[in-house]
Copies of this chain bind each other. A is one copy, B any other.
């Protein structure tokens, strides 16, 4: 007596907002198979199948995978535990995404603030020179003469936006890796650490034009007051100073 006692894929897809392909897929993986087939092999979904469909939709809206949904509906798994585990996964990826967003927002802010240089050591130093006046300015001036400052300014102008951008991203990444290695107890003589330091010096050279006086001056300034020279957050109270000494040790061990 109902209008239609079975549904075909197209009708069901349109009614549920899914695609035909999705229903096909759910059929092949056994998540939702129509109870009937027509003589010619066309799928015929019954009312019972619709019930199952609603259940699947409900569980899918929680972000569960198809396999989990099957287990849940076929009674193979404790739903409460499944939800708790899933929630734990969601929480962790949420935290990771949040941290990522923090970094991207900062980076975006800095990038869209025109050509004004950035948060990290050398770039922050350049901002100080630019006259914006941060805490790092004084420290830096104590370690560099006007000529050295002029070198930095010239270099900053010569570098293209891509390089500028890379420094914004690669430099903090090198720091994080160094921090992780130090936290793991890796000795400064390890070749991983030595490579990191070498790369940091290369980036430094990019800006100083290989002028060792200038680069040593900047490094000295950073070593004296790392916190003022970087926007990054140190891991521990002695984080920056400890890291600076750690990297210095790696540098000294080079020969």
Q: A237 interface residue, CB < 8 Å from B?
A: no
**Count of residues in A whose CB is under 8 Å from the partner chain:** 54
Contact indicator B87/A55 (Cβ below 8 Å) = no
Q: Which of A39-74 contact B (CB under 8 A)?
A: 50-51, 54-55, 57-59, 61-63, 72
Residue A159 lies at the interface, judged by CB distance under 8 Å to chain B: no
Residue A151 interfacial (CB < 8 Å): no
Docked CA distance A202–B62 (Å): 22
Rounded to whole Å, the gap between the CB of A130 and the closest CB of chain B is 19
Contact of A170 with B55 in the complex, beta carbons under 8 Å: yes
Alpha-carbon distance A49/B116, docked complex (angstroms): 30
Secondary structure at chain A's binding surface: helix, strand, loop or mixed?
helix
Contacts of A174 in B (CB 8 A): 54, 58
User: Are A191 and B3 interface neighbours, CB within 8 A?
Assistant: yes
Q: Are B104 and A169 in contact (CB under 8 A)?
A: no
Contact status A87-B58, CB under 8 Å: no
Q: Would B105 and A51 count as touching, CB distance under 8 A?
A: no
Residue-wise interface mask of A (108-139) relative to B, using a CB-CB cutoff of 8 A (1 in contact, 0 not): 10011000000000000000000000000000
